[in-house]
C-alpha cells in the first residue's frame, strides 16, 4: 500500500497535480499567460471526503450536477469557508431556490425563466450569482443550450436581472476523438464570445473543456476547464 492509499485520499493529490501539469503544458503550447486557465474540479458522485482531499491539496473550486447530492456535501464541508461551488448540471425549475441559495456560480443557464427564478431567489445577503450562458455550438438538440443566434438576447435578459452577474459562455460539445475535431466547437464558442463582448461586458469566462479535451479547449481560449474523472477517478455511478 502506498502512502496515498494509507492516508485515504484515493490518489487525488497526485491526479490533481497531473491535471495541473496538463493545463500548464497546454497554456504554454497556446502561448497564453500562466494562470489564465482556472481548474474547476467536478466532484459529482464523489463523496465529501474526496472534495476535502482535493481542498487540502489546494483546490478551491468544485463543480456539482445534482442538487440534492451537492447540498449534502456543501453542508458537510461548511468549515471550508473559502471553497467555491459551481452548479454545472441541468437546471430544473423546482430546484432553482436551492441553487440560488447554495452556489456561487451556475454554468449551463439556457432558459430565461430559470434566469428570472435564480435572480428572484438569490438571498439578499449574497452577491449576485455568477452565470455562464450555455451555447449549443455544435447543433446537437440533446445537449441543451441556447442557439448561437439567440445568445445576445439571452445575455440582455440576464443582464436586466439584479441577482445575476453574467460572466461568460459555456459549452458541452459531443465527445470527439482527434484534437482538430475537438477544437471546432470550442473555437466557435470563442468567436461568438469575441463578437458579443463589450468593454463593460467582457464575458471573460469561457467555460469549456473536460478530462478528455481540456487541451483542445485551452488552445481555443478556455478560461475555465471542468474536470471530473482526471481529478477524482472514474465516477462510481452515472445519475444522468
Ligand atoms: C461531468 C461533467 C464534467 C466533467 O466530466 P469529465 O469527463 O469527468 O471530466 C464537465 N462538465 C459537465 C457539464 C459535466 O456534467
Q: Of the ranges 83-92, 113-122, 139-148, 189-198, which one carries the lowest mean pLDDT score?
A: 139-148
What mean pLDDT, rounded, does the chain reach? 94
- How high is the pLDDT of residue 1? 43
Pick the atom of ligand 1 nearest to 232's CA: 8
| pLDDT for residue 50 is more than 80 | yes
- How high is the pLDDT of residue 9? 72
Q: Quick one: CATH architecture of 3-231?
A: Alpha-Beta Barrel (3.20)
pLDDT bucket at 143, cuts 50 / 70 / 90: low
Name the closest-CA residue to atom 11, ligand 1: 226
Average pLDDT for residues 144-171, to the nearest whole number? 97
Give helix 112-121 / helix 151-159 axis angle, nearest 10°.
20
Name the closest-CA residue to atom 6, ligand 1: 228
Name the closest-CA residue to atom 14, ligand 1: 88
Sign (positive/negative) of CA torsion 70, 134, 110, 229?
A: negative
Q: How far apart are CA 66 and CA 28, in angstroms?
A: 34
**Ligand 1, residues at Cβ distance < 6 Å:** 42, 44, 65, 88, 172, 210-212, 226-230
Pick the atom of ligand 1 nearest to 212's CA: 7
Pick the atom of ligand 1 nearest to 235's CA: 8
Please tell me the pTM assigned to this model: 0.95
> 56 or 143: whose pLDDT is higher?
56
Amino acid at each position: 500500500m502506498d502512502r496515498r492509499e494509507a492516508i485515504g485520499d484515493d490518489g487525488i493529490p497526485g491526479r490533481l497535480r497531473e491535471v495541473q501539469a496538463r493545463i500548464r503544458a497546454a497554456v504554454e503550447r497556446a502561448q497564453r499567460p500562466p494562470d489564465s486557465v482556472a481548474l474547476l474540479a467536478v466532484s459529482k458522485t464523489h463523496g465529501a471526503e474526496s472534495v476535502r482531499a482535493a481542498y487540502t491539496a489546494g483546490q478551491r473550486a468544485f463543480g456539482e450536477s445534482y442538487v440534492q447530492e451537492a447540498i449534502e456535501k456543501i453542508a458537510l464541508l461548511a468549515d471550508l469557508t473559502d471553497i467555491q461551488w459551481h452548479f454545472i448540471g441541468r437546471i430544473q425549475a423546482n430546484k432553482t431556490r436551492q441553487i440560488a441559495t447554495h452556489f456561487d456560480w451556475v454554468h449551463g443557464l439556457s432558459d430565461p425563466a430559470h434566469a428570472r427564478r435564480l435572480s428572484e431567489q438569490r438571498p439578499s445577503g449574497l452577491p449576485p450569482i455568477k452565470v455562464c450562458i450555455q451555447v449549443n455550438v455544435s447543433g446537437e438538440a440533446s445537449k441543451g443550450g441556447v442557439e448561437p443566434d439567440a445568445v445576445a438576447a439571452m445575455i440582455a435578459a440576464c443582464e436586466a436581472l439584479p441577482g445575476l452577474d453574467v460572466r461568460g459562455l459555456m459549452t458541452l460539445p459531443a465527445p470527439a476523438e482527434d484534437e482538430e475535431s475537438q477544437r471546432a466547437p470550442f473555437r466557435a464558442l470563442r468567436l461568438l464570445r469575441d463578437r458579443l463582448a463589450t468593454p463593460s461586458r467582457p464575458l471573460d469566462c469561457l467555460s469549456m473543456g473536460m478530462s478528455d479535451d481540456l487541451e483542445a479547449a485551452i488552445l481555443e481560449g478556455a478560461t475555465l476547464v471542468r474536470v471530473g474523472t482526471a481529478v477524482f477517478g472514474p465516477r462510481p455511478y452515472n445519475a444522468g
